[in-house]
Amino acid sequence: MKTVNKKKFINCNPCLCRFPRRTHSPRTLCLLGVLVTLGLMGPGGVRAQEVATFDFPAGERPAILPSGLRDWPQETSDGLLTIEVPLLPLNDEGALLVTVVFEDAEGRIIHARWIAEDKISTTLADNLSENLKGWNERTFEVPYELLQQSGSLFLETDGEFQPVKRVALAWTWPAGVFMSPSARTVKFLANAGCPLTEQDVSTQPAGPVPDIWSAGIWKAFLQERIESLEEALQFTVPIEAVPGVAVFRAKVLGIPLDASSSIWVNGRKIGPLLFEIPELSAAGYYKADGGNLRYAGWRSGAVVIPVSSLQVGENAIVLKAEKGAYIKDALLELNFEKEGSPLTLDATVTAETPATSDPLGPAGRKAAGGPTVVVVPPVTP
């Protein structure tokens, strides 16, 4: 079993929060420009359809070339395995979202770049791979500055076979949206109805995220990098007071659409940890061997933790092993509102024998041989 330790204690006193509070303008609501996939035409620009999706190796093509493209995507293998997507200029403030579905692997390189008609090359992603095993999905932006002239999107890899299985294009244009100051800033609304932040479309590794205190709720981030679930994974979380409400959230990759995940808190089985089912218009769906429907991208999951399972001091949150699965962005949401708050709730804990309810307990180790414990560096304050 792998263990992730959270170093600092989660303090229920907002006055002692060591991270700066978010500042906002005095206005309660702010008007933000958000790019949405509406398929609108800007002044003097081409009218592109909302989305265009291409599978590889290429099958039978539609009779009509999708608007927004100069030509059909091409595959070449001259030294590098390359997919070229020729695009028309937009001549307005639109942008292009590109979603790439591919078979990931350790050490894999998938480079994305833009080459304009004047032959100037711009890197869009040094490497889309996250060094994982299995299907993956990444989304990135081709900014409007590059789309002011014709050019081509290139995806390049030096492997023996083409790992890219699908490329989905979504043309976007600015639209106004009202947002609460406490809401996370959304940069795109994707065609599948999914809001995307700047980090969601970034191709750079995410850095450490500080804990956030807002309106009596503490968000404690538990990991700094992607972890494998090939072995049971433990998060060690110290707290100084038991909250009124607790929720565990995370994103997972590689877990079947019809599956949930078991989770233990301080030796008591809770859950299950349930995961979202993306809209069917999402690019990440594919048929696995045997015809089973799978999803290649990351999916969010959450579970309410009964506060009776928590304790002052260190708390162990354990996820069971899932073959071929990964987890990232794990966090614990804790509500420290006063007792009697309408948000205060609990859930029933089903008691089980130690052999099945506590993968770390002595009985469990004796019955099943016990998981292997691997220590992961703790989150740095």
- Are 186 and 45 in contact by the 8 Å Cβ rule? The answer is no
Q: CATH assignment of 30-194?
A: 2.60.120
Averaged pLDDT, 26-32: 33
Q: Hey, do 2-19+210-379 and 30-194 end up sharing a CATH topology, with the first three levels equal? A: yes
Interval 176-198: pLDDT, tens: 778 777 677 788 777 666 788 87
Task: Work out the pLDDT band at 10, boundaries 50, 70, 90.
Answer: low
Domain edges within the chain:
2-19+210-379, 30-194
Domain covering 2-19+210-379 assigned CATH 3.30.1130.10 in the classification = no
Average of per-residue pLDDT across 198-219: 80
Q: What confidence category does residue 302 fall into, taking pLDDT thresholds of 50, 70 and 90?
A: very high
- pTM exceeds cut of 0.75: yes
What is the structure's pLDDT at 49?
55
